[in-house]
Amino acid sequence: MSHAYELVVSGVGAPRPRRTLEATSPRRGEKVVQASLAACAVLSVLVTTAIVVSLLTPTIGFFREVSIVEFLTSTTWAPAFARPSFGVWPIVVGTLMVVFFALIVAIPIGLACAVYLSEYASRRVRGVVKPVLEVLEGIPTVATGLFAFFFLTPLAKQILPFLPWQGPFSIGVAGVAVGLLIVPLVSSVSDDAMRSVPAGLREGAYALGANKLRVTTRVVFPAAISGVVAAVVLGTSRAIGETMVVLIAAGAGNPNLSFDPTKGIQTMTAYIGGRATGDIAMGTIVYDTIFAVGTLLFIMTLSMNMLAIRLVRRFREVYE
């Protein structure tokens, strides 16, 4: 490679030329490598741009036909009917119900796991429980959905026979299943937050004679609160975007506005997923609804994620 070196090493007794500090090669390879690596990183920006473009173009088309006021205020969602109606509320409510039930499950269980793992578990127990939770996180959503539909819903009907169950679908059970799905996420993010609370804070509290319960609930938890909130926000975002579980367990459901957890209710994601499986022609208004609902979904999750990122960053600034 380097011309100067060949002379130095091969020529025994040969005069050694002064070695210059100037480049022995133009190092074009380095620049090519750097440019291609940068291109890989820029790709992510292009993906986001592509998402926005692919969502917005048909959405704009959609709102030329349908007034945005009707979309956001009307309470009937029947885009494929002979007399279509485009009020998005029924499926938004479906999504919110899933989020509600998911959080009822995921917040207590997820936080219990996090507190246990970060404050109480021995190294060995932690070494077992944490990977198991990671495996739970890796369970495909189709599996969770089928489990909810074929096992949890019949089980719920047996345990709570007095509720007005109708048909095989239930948005409440779907929400519970989504909750199980996001437990590992909520747990791992809050576990990280609590573990990065400096040991000095804990020791200070112990030195004042506080017991473990007090230290955990009055010192560690408040100190980690923004990380814990970030975990819940991230979990919410996941629950909003979850598709397969609700598609299977809450069904294509009834697009009427309803708050009954024992009924099958359509969510935004289930609408998109269910609509796409049917054969719909490109360029029709029904096709465009997929994108309009997708845009709404994207905006909701994006704002959640931005909030979570900000919370985590603030937490890091305080303790790291």
Partner 1 sequence: MTDAAYPVRTERTRLAVAGARATTRSIVGDSERSGRFGNLLFVAMLLLGVGTALVALSAIIVWAYVTGRPLLSTDLLTNYPSTVNPRAAGYRPAILGTVYVISGVVALIVPLGVGAAVYLEEYADGTKWWNRLIELNIQNLAGVPSIVFGILGLAFIVRGPISLGFVAAAGSLTLALLVLPTVILASREAIRAVPSSIRHGSLALGATQWQTVSRQVLPAALPGILTGVILAVARAIGEAAPLLLVGAVTFVTFDPRFFDGGYSVLPVQIFQYAGRPQEDFRILAAAGVLVLLLVLLVINATAIWLRHRYEREW
Partner 2 sequence: MPSRQTTNETLSSTDRRVAALAPGPPVNIATGQAADPGAGEREVTFRLEGVSVRYGEALAVKDVTMDIHHKDITALIGPSGCGKSTLLRCLNRMNDLIPSARVSGRLWYHGEDVYGPKVDPVQVRKLIGMVFQKPNPFPKSIYDNVAFGPRTTGMKGDMDEIVERALRSAALWDEVKDRLKENAYGMSGGQQQRLCIARCIATEPDVILMDEPCSALDPISTARIEDLMHELKEQYTIVIVTHNMQQAARVSDRTAFFTAEVDEATDVRTGVLVEYDRTEKVFSNPGDERTENYVTGRFG
> Per CB under 8 A, which region of 69-77, 192-200, 221-229, 265-273 contacts partner 1?
265-273
- Show contacts with partner 1 in window 24-63 (CB under 8 A): 27, 29-30, 33-34, 36-45, 47-48, 50-51, 53-55, 57-58
Number of other residues whose CB lies within 10 A of the CB of residue 57: 12
Supply the minimum distance, in Å, between the C-beta of residue 18 and partner 2: 5
Among partner 2, partner 1, none, partner that 5 touches (CB below 5 to 8 angstroms by kind):
partner 2
Among partner 2, partner 1, none, partner that 211 touches (CB below 5 to 8 angstroms by kind):
partner 1
**Residue 237, CA distances (Å) to 17, 40, 52, 66, 280 in order:** 66, 27, 18, 27, 28
How big is the CA angle at 276 (ends 273 and 282), to the nearest 5 degrees?
Answer: 150
Among partner 2, partner 1, none, partner that 112 touches (CB below 5 to 8 angstroms by kind):
partner 1
Q: Is 140 in the site for partner 1 (CB under 8 A)?
A: yes
- Show contacts with partner 1 in window 284-313 (CB under 8 A): 290-291, 294, 297-298, 301-302, 304-306, 308-309
- Per-residue buried b or exposed e for 101-134, using 16+ beta carbons within 10 Å of the residue's own CB: bbbebbbebbbebbbbbbbebeeeeeeeebeebe
Supply the minimum distance, in Å, between the C-beta of residue 318 and partner 1: 19
Which helix (H) or strand (E) is 56 found in, with range? helix 28-65
Supply the minimum distance, in Å, between the C-beta of residue 82 and partner 1: 25
Supply the minimum distance, in Å, between the C-beta of residue 11 and partner 2: 8
- Show contacts with partner 2 in window 13-72 (CB under 8 A): 13-16, 18-24, 27
Q: What is the dihedral of CA 55, 56, 61, 66, to 10 degrees?
A: 90
Supply the minimum distance, in Å, between the C-beta of residue 19 and partner 1: 11
Q: Is 132 in the site for partner 1 (CB under 8 A)?
A: yes
Site string for partner 1, 111-130 (x = CB under 8 A): xxx-xxx--x--------x-
How big is the CA angle at 296 (ends 152 and 235), to the nearest 5 degrees?
Answer: 45
Supply the minimum distance, in Å, between the C-beta of residue 39 and partner 2: 22
Number of other residues whose CB lies within 10 A of the CB of residue 168: 13
Q: Is 276 in the site for partner 1 (CB under 8 A)?
A: yes
Helix axes 171-195, 285-319, angle to 10 degrees: 30
> Binding residues for partner 1, how many (CB under 8 A)?
99
Contact of 14 with 4, CB cutoff 8 Å: no
Contact of 58 with 291, CB cutoff 8 Å: yes
- Show contacts with partner 1 in window 199-258 (CB under 8 A): 205, 208-219, 234, 237-238, 240-244, 247-248
> Which lies closer to partner 1 via its Cβ, residue 39 or residue 318?
39
Contact of 272 with 98, CB cutoff 8 Å: no
Structure tokens at 242: 């979850």
What gap in Å lies between CA 62 and CA 299, rounded to an integer? 17
Contact of 257 with 93, CB cutoff 8 Å: yes
Q: What residues make contact with partner 2 under the rule CB under 8 A?
A: 1-2, 5-6, 8-16, 18-24, 27
